[in-house]
């Protein structure tokens, strides 16, 4: 009985759908299934210029070596774009800021507050603020001439690479041990100037330098909070409260200390000054 009712219900629904959507004459002539609607592929020639145009990909055999080289350049460009997030994270100030913020969260014995996404967002916008002069120089000397057609792709890449290389080198100007390490690993001659250091050497050297600096800052941040933990643990031990976790008691005191000294303001100021 239930199956008969379901079959009757489906018959009523499909019959109603056929009444509402009749089959077009063109579809009937071409033998399309019942219920097919007619479509079109024509594009309005009077389309406004502000709308997104239709993109057509045409695959054909290359006519010259220049077209082959251009295809390889496009392939390399797409590869770089897929790796762009990692490149931006590792060649800017984001690496140091994100690690320091995570150290602060762990030093305060906080588990879920603030969330990791919030810390990454703070690190992102602080990185944009610090790197803004570098990005502005890249736009003025590389992207803008390329968009205006006064500079080719190779020259634009070189001009965009210069400000980033200069930023990374400025962070390591007082400690070039990482550059010497990778130059020796690559069996390269000792560089006399920044121009003699390849980018493939400068980037990993900068990453190691940023990790070292971030861990040094994290150690300095941990010291006052460790002292608070030790004092609270000693008080609990003297009172005989061995089973009570010291972290549970010390966390409010660490938060009070962090707020009283304006921790977020001091941390942001010192992070910004560390990149100058």
Q: How many distinct structural domains can be found in the chain?
A: 1
Reported as a single tens digit per residue, the pLDDT across 187-218 is 888 887 778 888 888 888 999 999 999 999 98
% of the chain beyond a pLDDT of 90: 8
Q: Which domain holds residue 156?
A: 82-220
Is 53 inside a domain boundary? no
Residue whose entry in the numeric block shows the structure tokens 């549970």: 248
Is 178 inside a domain boundary? yes
Where is mean pLDDT largest: 6-10, 147-151, 170-174? Answer: 170-174
Is 271 inside a domain boundary? no
Q: Between 80 and 68, where is the model more confident?
A: 80
Q: How many residues does the chain have?
A: 276
Is 131 inside a domain boundary? yes
Tell me the pLDDT of the chain averaged across its residues.
Answer: 77
Is 66 inside a domain boundary? no
In the structure, what pLDDT confidence band is assigned to residue 16 with cuts at 50, 70 and 90?
very low
Mean pLDDT across 42-53 = 59
Is 164 inside a domain boundary? yes
Q: Between 154 and 33, where is the model more confident?
A: 154
Is 203 inside a domain boundary? yes
Reported as a single tens digit per residue, the pLDDT across 147-167 is 777 878 778 888 888 888 888
Is 107 inside a domain boundary? yes
In the structure, what pLDDT confidence band is assigned to residue 36 with cuts at 50, 70 and 90?
low
| DSSP notation for 152-182 | -HHHHHHHHHHHHHHHHHHHTTT--HHHHHH
């Amino acid at each position: 009985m239930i199956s008969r009712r379901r079959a009757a219900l489906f018959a009523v629904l499909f019959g109603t759908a056929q009444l509402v959507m009749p089959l077009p004459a063109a579809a009937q002539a071409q033998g399309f299934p019942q219920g097919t609607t007619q479509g079109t592929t024509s594009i309005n020639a009077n389309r406004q210029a502000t709308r997104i145009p239709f993109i057509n990909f045409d695959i054909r055999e290359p006519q010259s070596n220049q077209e082959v080289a251009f295809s390889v350049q496009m392939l390399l460009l797409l590869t770089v774009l897929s790796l762009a997030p990692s490149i931006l994270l590792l060649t800017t100030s984001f690496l140091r800021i994100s690690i320091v913020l995570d150290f602060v969260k762990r030093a305060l014995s906080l588990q879920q507050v603030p969330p990791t996404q919030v810390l990454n967002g703070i690190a992102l916008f602080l990185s944009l603020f610090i790197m803004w002069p570098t990005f502005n120089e890249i736009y003025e000397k590389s992207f803008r001439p390329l968009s205006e057609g006064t500079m080719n792709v190779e020259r634009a890449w070189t001009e965009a690479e210069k400000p980033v290389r200069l930023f990374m080198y400025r962070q390591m100007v007082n400690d070039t041990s990482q550059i010497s390490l990778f130059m020796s690993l690559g069996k390269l001659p000792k560089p006399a100037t920044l121009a003699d250091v390849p980018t493939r050497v400068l980037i990993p050297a900068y990453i190691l330098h940023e990790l070292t600096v971030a861990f040094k800052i994290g150690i300095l941040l941990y010291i006052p909070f460790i002292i608070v933990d030790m004092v609270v643990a000693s008080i609990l031990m003297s009172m005989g409260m061995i089973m009570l976790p010291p972290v549970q008691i010390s966390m409010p005191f660490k938060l009070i200390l962090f707020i009283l000294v304006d921790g977020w303001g001091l941390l942001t100021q010192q992070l910004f000054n560390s990149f100058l």
